Chains A and B, each alone.
Chain A
């Protein structure tokens, strides 16, 4: 069961610290997080299920946002970081 870390912008809507969620894929992980913390709905993904523009999901340190995305398997994964990229500069 991977350990989930949200950045400070998302922690105001979700768990205040790290948490663990039982999920086979990033999509299932987000579904469960949103079930536990309804304030996260539509903050990470829009209503079509797509990751929002500046959201980056790192699976064991690898950015999967632009590759396998929400379909990424979490089998054997130790950590998932959900962060915002810098939108400027």
Chain B
């Protein structure tokens, strides 16, 4: 069988899933498939351990969430198991409950993020859901088990939702070890496990929560998204409600790097495999304390952080793509090629591509629905 040579961009949108493909030059793009018509698709991810396998977190307004999977590059999809709330299986009549009984359970409301497991665990998949739930599958999504150590974390009854909900939206597996995992949850913060998810610790030291009475609490930061540096997995980058941060010690301590930008509010972050020490962010304006959630100064812009020089760089001229674009937390991704491709999907349904690590940019000529997530299926090397 010939090796797959195509670069595929996987889009989760307000109205379905798109696969958009090109060759390794990444200059000409075409939509190769469309699925889940009318559904809110929060995340679509390729499983690099199984070429051609993609997972989609589909959230149907009428009949709830579904995990959908394809094994043929998006040509056909089918529903696989969908995780169920692990808090309680039945719903007793509230009138029959004694005083002080635990509150009625909440169903899984939305699926937010699906993450293939470590290369050494080729059948493991993780899934983050709302309200603040983590699941693990050991059979490629055929069944799911709740990760009780995070789902029953002491004090979680006090966790509150962020503006987008009580979502567990970031799941990161350290490429050096399947035992080191990180999760990020809105209005809660980041947690790390060193034993494959049996135990977790909050790792938010140094991250400000400007909306809390204690501005540097152990838990309660509103992290929006997290990315790991593939070349140095001790380094991770974080976009919070309260700013942009980096850690160089596996989240033991975070340092704010976004202050020179003025506005360092935003939702998304990505780090390319080909350029160690680089991370890409899309700051959104938050003037006056009330985030407007469109790009700063009325034009499309991506900011590059260089962790070696500790400097920021704008990747576009203001005149390139004027407009008020928004971008969601999964709205930026990088491919694994050299030079790195950078992909940004906006709430206005535009898909921007840089095939050369930000030197040049093109707009894919297609009017997509509002884009929630951008994922990559890389060519086989």
- Residues of A at the B interface (CB closer than 8 Å) are 9, 42-44, 46-50, 52-55, 84, 87
Contact = CB atoms under 8 A, between A and B. Distances in A.
B91 A42 contact: no
18 contacts: A42-B84, A44-B63, A46-B107, A47-B107, A47-B108, A48-B85, A48-B88, A48-B90, A48-B104, A48-B106, A50-B91, A52-B63, A52-B64, A53-B61, A54-B62, A84-B62, A87-B61, A87-B62
A42 B61 contact: no
Please tell me the size bucket of the interface on B: 10 to 19
A54 B105 CA distance: 19
A50 to B, nearest CB: 6
Contact of B61 (A47, A48, A49, A54): A54
B82 interface: yes
B141 to A, nearest CB: 16
Contacts of B104: 48
A43 B89 CA distance: 16
B294 to A, nearest CB: 25
Interface of B: 61-64, 82, 84-85, 88-91, 104-108
Given A44-B63, A47-B107, A54-B62, 15 more contacts: A9-B62, A42-B82, A43-B63, A43-B64, A46-B64, A47-B85, A48-B85, A48-B88, A48-B106, A49-B90, A49-B91, A50-B91, A55-B62, A87-B61, A87-B62
A47 B133 CA distance: 15
Q: Is the interface of A mostly helix, strand, loop or mixed?
A: loop
Nearest to A44: B63
Contacts of A50: 91, 107
A50 B106 CA distance: 10
Nearest to A84: B62
A-B interface, 8 closest residue pairs, ranked by CB to CB distance from nearest: A46-B107, A43-B63, A48-B91, A47-B84, A49-B91, A48-B107, A54-B62, A48-B105
Nearest to B107: A46
A47 B85 CA distance: 7
A54 B60 CA distance: 11
Contacts of B64: 42-43, 46, 52
A52 B63 CA distance: 7
A9 B62 CA distance: 9
B184 to A, nearest CB: 25
Contacts of A84: 62
Nearest to A71: B93
Contacts of A87: 61-62
Contacts of B89: 47
Contacts of A42: 63-64, 82, 84
A7 to B, nearest CB: 10
A54 to B, nearest CB: 5
A48 B106 CA distance: 7
A42 B84 CA distance: 10
Nearest to A55: B62
B370 to A, nearest CB: 16
A16 B364 CA distance: 41
A87 B84 CA distance: 24
A58 to B, nearest CB: 17
Contacts of A53: 61
A85 to B, nearest CB: 9
Contacts of A48: 85, 88, 90-91, 104-107
Nearest to A47: B84
Contacts of A47: 84-85, 89, 107-108
B64 to A, nearest CB: 6
Contacts of B91: 48-50
Contacts of B105: 48
A44 to B, nearest CB: 8
